[in-house]
């Protein structure tokens, strides 16, 4: 028993139960607050990663659009000076398609790292609270 605690053996069962209820209510409020703060923080981090992955996929879509739209007359015409025009158009299309593919793979990898947030700190403190309660109840039986 701690030096600051009154002798609990002299208190009535009603007072002890009231004290227990009050302590449990306070503990649950604190655990809920910790859960809320932890999940808010983890939610922000997940949102940032998801935003980056979505941005990369958007960039891949734009590059894909350029791959279709930029069968650019300038490049195709330049290449067509040394080869048939259809070969020049195919080379430009494959190059832009390659860029779009690399961006799409990078964006997918970024999105794959996004995980559901788990309140690990709250889980740990709840486990500690349970262990503490077990030791308190076993010492009260003595």
The pLDDT value recorded for residue 83 is: 93
Is residue 18 assigned to a domain? yes
Nearest partner of 111 among 64, 43, 46, 42, judged by Cα: 46
Is residue 21 assigned to a domain? yes
Is residue 138 assigned to a domain? no
Nearest partner of 66 among 46, 41, 93, 84, judged by Cα: 93
Is residue 24 assigned to a domain? yes
**3 three-class SS:** coil
The pLDDT value recorded for residue 101 is: 94
Is residue 102 assigned to a domain? yes
- Domain of 20, in residue numbers: 11-123
* Mean pLDDT in order along the chain per 10 residues (142 residues): 61 81 84 83 79 87 79 79 91 88 92 82 85 72 59
The pLDDT value recorded for residue 70 is: 66
Is residue 100 assigned to a domain? yes
The pLDDT value recorded for residue 66 is: 79
Q: Is the pTM of this model over 0.85?
A: no
Is residue 70 assigned to a domain? yes
Tell me how many domains the chain contains. 1
Is residue 140 assigned to a domain? no
CA 8 to chain centre: 45
The pLDDT value recorded for residue 1 is: 45
The pLDDT value recorded for residue 6 is: 61
């Amino acid at each position: 028993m701690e030096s600051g605690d009154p002798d609990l053996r002299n208190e009535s069962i009603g007072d002890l139960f009231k004290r227990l209820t009050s302590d449990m209510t306070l503990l649950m409020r604190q655990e809920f607050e910790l859960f809320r703060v932890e999940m808010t923080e983890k939610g922000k981090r997940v949102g940032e990663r998801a935003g980056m992955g979505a941005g990369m996929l958007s960039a891949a879509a734009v590059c894909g659009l350029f791959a279709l739209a930029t069968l650019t007359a300038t490049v195709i015409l330049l290449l067509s000076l040394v080869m048939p025009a259809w070969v020049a158009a195919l080379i430009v299309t494959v190059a832009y398609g390659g860029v779009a593919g690399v961006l799409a793979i990078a964006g997918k990898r970024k999105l794959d790292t996004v995980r559901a947030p788990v309140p690990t700190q709250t889980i740990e403190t709840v486990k500690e609270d349970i262990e503490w309660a077990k030791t308190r109840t076993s010492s009260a039986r003595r």
